[in-house]
Amino acid sequence: MNATTNILVVGIGGQGVMTATEILAEAAIAMGHDAKKTEVAGMAQRGGVVSSHLRFGQRVLSPQITPGTADVLLGFEAAEAMRWQHMLKPGGITLTNTAKLVPPVVELGLFDYPADPLAEIRQTGNKVVAFDATSIAQELGDIRLGNTVMLGAIADHLPFPAETLLACVLKRFEKKGEKLLDMNRRAFAAGRAAVGSAEAVAA
C-alpha cells in the first residue's frame, strides 16, 4: 500500500480510454487506495488522440505521471503506445492492441503513421506484450467490447486481484441485462488470456 502505481492509458477518441481509466480508478479505490486521474490530454473527440493518467497508492497528491515513471502503458492503439514510450520506467511494461487506427492528424498529412510501431517499441528495449483486442472484440460479437478486452489485458499487472477489476467492469452493465454482463465477462477473460498467451510465447 505504500508504493504508488502509475498507469498511462492511451488511444484514439471513441475507443473508451477515459472509461477504462475510470474503471481502473474505481477498482483501486475499492481496494482502499487513494486514486487520482487526469482529464483527457489532447483531442477527446472521436478519432482524436487521447491519453489519461492514473496514479493510486496510500496517498496520492498529483494525478500527473512524470516521464520515466509509468509502471504500465496500456495502449488501445499501437502507434499511440509507441508515441508514449518515454513515459515508462525502467522495467515497466507496455500492453498494446495491435490494431491500426489512423487519427485525423495523419489523414490530414500533418503526421506520418509509423511503418511498424511494434518494432519501434521493441527497439526501445522496453517490455511489450501485443495482442489484437479489436479482433477479439469482433469475434465476441461487438467491437465495443474492446474496452473490456483491454481491461482484462491489464488485470494481471495490477497490485490487486483481477476479480476486483472485473467486478467494477460488470457494475457498469448490471442494469443492462445478463446477456451484456456475460459478453463482458467473456471479453475480460479473453483479454487476460491473450496477454497470458503472448507472455508465455515471449518467455
144 DSSP assignment = G
Nearest to 78 by CA among 137, 37, 110, 122: 122
Cβ(152)–Cβ(188) below 8 Å: yes
Q: Coil, helix or strand for 1?
A: coil
Q: How far is CA 80 from the centre of its chain?
A: 11
Q: How far apart, in whole angstroms, are the C-alpha atoms of residue 78 and residue 99? A: 7
User: CATH fold of 5-202, please?
Assistant: Pyruvate-ferredoxin Oxidoreductase; domain 3 (3.40.920)
pTM, entire model: 0.91
At 1, the pLDDT band (50, 70, 90 cuts) reads very low
Nearest to 22 by CA among 39, 43, 47, 42: 39
* Domain parsing of the chain, residue ranges: 5-202
Q: How far apart, in whole angstroms, are the C-alpha atoms of residue 89 and residue 72? A: 9
Which pLDDT does position 47 carry in this prediction?
58
Cβ(10)–Cβ(154) below 8 Å: no
- What the block records as the C-alpha cell of 177 is 441485462
Is residue 73 packed enough to be buried (19+ CB in 10 Å), middle (13-18) or exposed (0-12)?
buried
Per-chain mean pLDDT for the chain? 89
Element (H, E) at 171: helix 162-171
Q: How far apart, in whole angstroms, are the C-alpha atoms of residue 77 and residue 98? A: 7
Which pLDDT does position 99 carry in this prediction?
86
Tens digit of pLDDT for each residue in 51-96?
999 999 999 989 999 999 999 999 999 999 999 999 999 999 999 9
